[in-house]
Structure 1
Amino acid sequence: MRKTWWKILGAVLVIYTTIAGLLLGVPHLNILNETIRNLYFHVPMWFAMIVLFTISVVYSVISLSSKKEIDDIRAVEAVNAGIIFGILGLITGAVWAKFTWGQFWSFDPKQNFAAISILLYFAYLVLRNAIDEEQKRAKISAIYNIFAFPMMVVLLFVLPRLQSSLHPGNGGNPGFNSYDLDSRMRMVFYPACLGWILIGYWIYTIRFRTRVLENKSNL
């Protein structure tokens, strides 16, 4: 029970926020209307992705000094799990854009930079698959990951704010907190973020354990 409480908590929070997100009342804002409920799903996906990529870069740094295969495996599996949530973030964002901006992809700066961020980590996986020698692969991919992470942060949080954007909180467009992210939404939004982060970490641990077992069976 001590080892699984956070998994139970993550599952409960996701179930709660899914049901509450669809049924509880929300503020009726211009253009957004009922689509504001997607905030409970779209934004937590990005938070989960960022947490997983953070775990990955931490283990990449550790693997450079430890030179242990286990640290390299932790780094790559965190990226694999993070990409899942990045793709879900793009999909939920595209659906939201369709109903608020009129098209799935409007080439908004935030959309473009988010897609580039995901491609950075796809490139990380391609780089790994292109190198056969184990130690060399671990070292080069770790170095790449260390540079990719700050680039991802700049692409998601810095560059969009320097340009005109349809996204809340970017390009002078006010964020939700400044115009009616009321207490009803906070009761769902914050638990949703925590719940999906825990689920993302759970997926990462499953992938990590599976990879370790596969490596042992190949010895």
Structure 2
Amino acid sequence: MYKSWWKILGAVLVVYSTVAGFLASVPALPILHQSIRNLYFHVPMWFGMIVLFSVSVYHSIKYLSNNNEEHDMKAVQSVNAGVLFGILGIITGAIWAKFTWGQAWSFDVKQNFAAIALLLYFAYLVLRNAIDEDQKRAKIAAIYNIFAFPMMVVLLFVLPRLSDSLHPGNGGNPGFNAYDLDSHMRMVFYPACLGWILIGYWIYTLLFRVSAIEKNKTV
């Protein structure tokens, strides 16, 4: 019970933010209207993805330093969980775009670069499946992962700011601030971010434990 406190906290925060996300009041804003509630789901998914990819690149670096197979297993399972959150981020973003921009995919610069960033990690998983020898696969995948992470950061946070975008916070389009993210929304938004990050990390640990069990069975 003591070691599982963060899992309980994550579950409580997700339940709280989900219920409050649908039922709590939100600012009456033009264009966004009730669709602003998606902020409680769309943005936390991306935060969860970034945290999981950060965990993955950490373990890739650790693997290259000590060749401990456990770090390679943790790296790939963290990517698996991160890709799941990335897909959910794309889907929730497309739903939001449908109601605010008129179409689910408008080829907005942020949408395009987010999709490319996610494809980087799909390529990581494909690369792993293309190499049979364990140590060679782990080393090449670790090197790829270390280079993929800063590329993902550039694609999500740097390049979109260099051009105009419909997405908040890019190309002169203001991000969420006191105008549209009021104090009531912050009481739901911040717990949602923390809750989904903890749930994402929990999923990653479960995937790692399953892979470790399967590995031991095949040895």
What is the TM-score when the length of structure 1 is the normalising length? 0.99
Residues 72-95 of structure 1 deviation map (CA, whole Å, 9 limit, x = unaligned) = 000000000000000000000000
How does 1:11-160 map onto structure 2 within 5 Å? Answer: 11-160=11-160
- What is the deviation of 1:168? 0.6
> Structure 1: any 5+ residue segments left out of the alignment?
none
* RMSD of Structure 2 on Structure 1 (CA): 0.6
SS at match of 1:158: helix
Distance 1:180 1:67 in 2: 48
- Is it true that 1:5 corresponds to 2:2 in the alignment? no
Distance 1:135 1:53 in 2: 21
Distance 1:50 1:94 in 2: 19
How does 1:169-180 map onto structure 2 within 5 Å? Answer: 169-180=169-180
SS at match of 1:167: coil
Distance 1:200 1:134 in 2: 27
> Structure 2: any 5+ residue segments left out of the alignment?
none
Distance 2:150 2:9 in 1: 31
Aligned pairs, number: 219
Distance 1:136 1:11 in 2: 38
Distance 2:211 2:117 in 1: 25
2:210 is aligned to 210
Distance 1:196 1:66 in 2: 31
SS at match of 2:171: coil
Distance 2:159 2:50 in 1: 17
Residues 167-204 of structure 1 deviation map (CA, whole Å, 9 limit, x = unaligned) = 11100000111523101100000000000000000000
2:196 is aligned to 196
- Percent identity over the alignment? 75
Q: Which amino acid aligns with 1:138?
A: A
2:162 is aligned to 162
- What is the deviation of 1:65? 1.1
What is the TM-score when the length of structure 2 is the normalising length? 0.99
- What is the deviation of 1:217? 0.6
Structure 1 runs of 4+ aligned residues shifted over 4 Å read none
SS at match of 2:212: helix
Q: Which amino acid aligns with 1:168?
A: P
Residues 143-168 of structure 1 deviation map (CA, whole Å, 9 limit, x = unaligned) = 00000000000000000111100011
